Amino acid sequence: MRIKAALSLVVITLTCISPGHLLAAETNTQDLAELSAISNPNDPCFGGCAPYGVPWHFEAIGAPEAWEITNGSSDVTIAVVDTGIDDQHPDLVGRITRIPGCGLGQTNQYSTSHGTFIAGLIGASANNSLSTVGLDWNAQILDVRVMNGSNGRTSDIAAGIKCAAVHGADIITLSFVQQGSQLSPVLQQAISEAQDAGVLVIAAAGNDGYERQRFPAAAEGVLSVGAVAQSLDIASFSTRGSWIDLMAPGEGLLSLGAGQSNGVRLGQGSSFAAPVVAAGASLVKARFPYFDATQISNQLVRTAKTHISQVSSSQYRILDVEQALKQPYRSHWQVTETGQVIALGESEHFGDLTTRPLIRNVTAIAANLTGLGYWLAQTNGAVTAFGEARDLGDLSTMTLNKPIVDMATTPSGNGYWLVASDGGIFSFGDAQFHGSTGAMTLNKPIVDMASTPSGNGYWLVA
């Protein structure tokens, strides 16, 4: 019985820097800048309010461009399993929900500033001319208080995670770390049950500045998040390492204060990078409502910006909400020999050759890396780029021995190969020549080609 009691004691540390780094201030509506983009909200601190400048994290993750696509959906629920949320803050009125028996309930005895700051980053109300704005303007925020201030019991946290999953949370964000090198079995079970229910669990990586794995962020299937500074280098306090899935703004962030200030505060910590990613995830869910948790996580990671630190030369991925909403998860097009492109699934139509008369020789289509552009190849070697695909050259000025029958792109999307029916290979951009059958006598003509995953080879099919 003593062992069980020990496991339920809290070994949890909130992953903001310290309450001393949360600076309170009232909003100043006179500092509202005139914003031309229709997606920009009228909340005064979005444009900068005294004594603070313009919040930097919105531009860093492509928020204004993302808002042109979606502001979020009320059908998506993000559970904040934390210290509780001040639902009386004017910028959170109507945004917070609670489930009786889910967590420890409301409190007047303990500070809710940590959870309120998180809720503001996720969903402070937009276009109400108050304080600041969250990344997702419509998602439901489920308040699951599991801590008394900065202290909590693993049993309470585990129960809160399970309860959030049972009551329909799509995303759970966790901004604490457990002491020790292994995840508590109690928390592991709760996270596994949430994942089995289809919930995406996101967790802060910690603030020790080292590369060691911290839990629950390092748990299987959890989307782990570290913090970057405005320079986009890893914040000096942030836990780091190749085990972390994604980095997001976590230093000098502006969000909501709790209690008497009812204004805005500055805060920093991976505690606050994690909910930025959670709100990004909810926008992805709104954009692609049929995505499951794994697809949302994969979309965020694969569309993130690759950044190389100027300090350590380490490479990591930074959240890019704009690209997460723009890039199709599954892209597929069909093309006719007259150059008509048919977009299927999530693919977009970026143009085709149907307006050009007498074209009867289109033979291949290939997408660029992002799925936001493609190339059409003709049998005479002409290549036409559409959307974000770059013009990398073609064979239209050459006399070919045999017609072009297919094309393939390099893994980077910055090059392609053309193959002729005799197996002749022509390389463009960063595509490298690895051999051909152009000088061989074939029993049958080449009809298809495919690149290896590394781009260091290709297959020809007769």
Catalytic residues: 82, 114, 271
Instruction: Give the C-alpha separation, 311 to 139, whole Å.
Output: 37
Tokens of 75: 């059908």
Asked if residue 250 lies in contact with residue 272, where contact means CB atoms within 8 angstroms, the answer is yes
CA triplet 341, 345, 350: central angle to 5 degrees? Answer: 35
Instruction: Give the C-alpha separation, 307 to 315, whole Å.
Output: 6
Provide the 10 A C-beta neighbour count for residue 3: 6
DSSP state of 175: -
Instruction: Give the C-alpha separation, 31 to 45, whole Å.
Output: 8
Asked if residue 160 lies in contact with residue 103, where contact means CB atoms within 8 angstroms, the answer is yes
Asked if residue 216 lies in contact with residue 174, where contact means CB atoms within 8 angstroms, the answer is yes
Residue 192's nearest CA partner among 222, 215, 227 is 222
209 CB-near residues (< 8 Å, 6+ apart): 236, 237, 238, 239, 240
